[in-house]
Amino acid sequence: MDHFEYHSGLLHAEGVSLVDIAQRFGTPTYVYSAATLTRHYRVFDQALAGSDHDICFAVKANGNIGVLGLLADLGSGFDIVSVGELERVITAGGDPAKVVFSGVGKRRDEIRRALEVGIACFNVESEAELERIDAVAQDMGCSAPVSLRVNPDVDAGTHPYISTGLKENKFGIAIERAEALYARAAEMAGVNPVGVDCHIGSQLTTLSPFRDAVTRILALVDRLAEHGIALEHIDVGGGLGVRYRDENPPSPAEYADAVAELISGRDLKLIFEPGRVLAANAGVLITRVELLKPGAAADDKHFAVVDAAMNDLIRPALYDGWHRIVPVAEQAAASSQKRRWDVVGPICETGDFLGLGRELSLAPDDLLAVRSAGAYGFTMASNYNARPRPAEVIVVDDTVHEVRARESVADLMRGERRLPFS
C-alpha cells in the first residue's frame, strides 16, 4: 500500500497534487510520501514483534537526510557501505550504536571513524579486511565488534547485477572458509566476533533461497558454538522484493515468520537490512513530456521525449528495471490519442529510456509519474551530460518539504579550475 492516489483526476502524494509540486519545484523531481515510509517501517517492525531485533535500513537504497531522519525518529537502525553514508546517518540523527557497516572495500579511515562513533558491528567481507580492522582497532586501543558476511553459495534467482550470494560474486566469505576464520578472529586482540551476516541478493520474490541460505548459516552457528564461539546475533540481510509490475513477493510477515521458524530455540538477536521494501513504493519521479516523435507508420517506434533521463533514474538502463509510468492528470491523458510509446530522455545514449512500449495517451507538456522510484533512484543518479540532479521533496499530509534543492550547473562546476596558463 502507498499514499499516491488520484483525487479529482489528479495524482496526489498524500494531500498534495503532483501538479502543484511540479509547478513549485519544477521537473524532474523525486517525491516521497512520509506516510508510506512510516507505514512500511511499522509493518516490518510489527511483523517482528516478540523477537529481539533491529531493523537497519539500507542507506544505499535512499540516502536523503530527510528520509533517514524520518526513519531514525521511528527507531530504525542503518546499514551503511561507506563513511559518507555513516556521516549522513549521524547528520540525520541516527544512532551509531544501531549501525552495521557492510561493503567489500572499507578503507582504514572509514574503519577508524566508525570505531570513533561506536557503531554496532562491522560485516567483514574478506580475510584481508578482518586483518585490517584488527590492526586499526589495536592502534586505537579498542576492540571492534565484527560479524563475518558468509557467502552460502545460494542462487537468489534475481538479476545477476543484484545477486550477491554465489561463489562467483565479490561479496562475503565462502562458507567453507568461515569456521576457520571465526577461530582466527576469536584469537585476535582487536576484534570481537559477535555475529554472522548473510545477504544473498536484492528484489527477492520467493522465500525458498532465503530459507536455504539461513539454514546453512545456522548450521555454521551451531558448529561454532560447539567450539566455544557463541555468537550474539544473526544478520539475515535485506533484499525482500516489491511489486514493480506483476511480481508477487512475500509479505514482511511471511518473511519474519520464516526467520522465526528457522531460529526457533536459539538465543540470537535478529538484524534485518531492508531497503527497497521500505522505500521503493514510497517515492515517484515526476517528469514532463518535452516533445513527441511519432513514427511514420503505425508499427514504427513512437518516442516520447521527457525531461528525466537515465542519469536521474538508471534502473531501466542498468538492470532493465521496469517502472510503471502513469499520467499525473487523468483527463489530459483521456483527451489524447493512445499509442505505444518509448518514454526516453534527452541523453545521448540509446539506452537512455525510462520505459519501452508503454500504452499512453500523451501530448507535449503532459506530466508523468514514474512509480516505485523511492529506492535506487536519486541515490544512483549522476551528472552525465552535465545534467543537474533533480530536487527531492517529502510530503507530510498536505505539506511539502524540500529536502534537497535542485542542483544548478554552477554546482556541477564547483571545485573545477582552468589551467593557469590557458
pLDDT of residue 295: 87
Q: Which of 121, 142, 198, 348 is catalytic?
A: 348
Nearest to 318 by CA among 409, 386, 250, 384: 384
Instruction: Write out pLDDT tens, residues 266-316.
Output: 899 999 999 999 999 999 999 999 999 998 877 788 999 999 999 999 999
pLDDT of residue 260: 81
pLDDT of residue 204: 77
Query: Which domains, and CATH codes, for the chain?
Result: 4-31+280-413 (2.40.37.10), 103-272 (3.20.20.10)
Tell me how far apart the alpha carbons of residues 356 and 366 are, in angstroms, rounded to a whole number. 18
Neighbour count for residue 354 (Cβ, 10 Å):
28
Cell numbers 551528472 correspond to what residue?
Answer: 383
pLDDT of residue 168: 54
Full-model pTM: 0.93
Left if phi > 0, otherwise alpha if psi is -120 to 50, otherwise beta: which for 183?
Answer: alpha
Task: Decide if 198 is catalytic.
Answer: no
Instruction: Write out pLDDT tens, residues 241-276.
Output: 888 888 888 888 888 888 888 888 889 999 999 999
Neighbour count for residue 8 (Cβ, 10 Å):
8
pLDDT of residue 159: 37
2 three-class SS: coil
pLDDT of residue 166: 44
User: Based on the number of CB atoms within 10 Å of its own CB, is 110 exposed (0-12), middle (13-18) or buried (19 or more)?
Assistant: buried
Per-residue pLDDT of the chain (422 residues; tens, 9 = 90+): 789 999 999 999 999 999 999 999 999 999 999 999 999 999 989 988 888 999 999 999 999 999 999 999 999 999 999 999 999 999 999 999 999 999 999 999 999 999 999 999 999 999 999 999 999 999 999 999 999 999 887 754 443 433 444 455 567 898 889 999 999 999 999 999 999 998 877 677 778 878 888 888 999 999 999 999 999 999 988 878 888 888 888 888 888 888 888 888 889 999 999 999 999 999 999 999 999 999 887 778 899 999 999 999 999 999 899 999 999 998 765 566 789 999 999 999 999 999 999 999 999 999 999 999 999 999 999 999 999 999 999 999 999 999 999 999 999 999 999 999 97
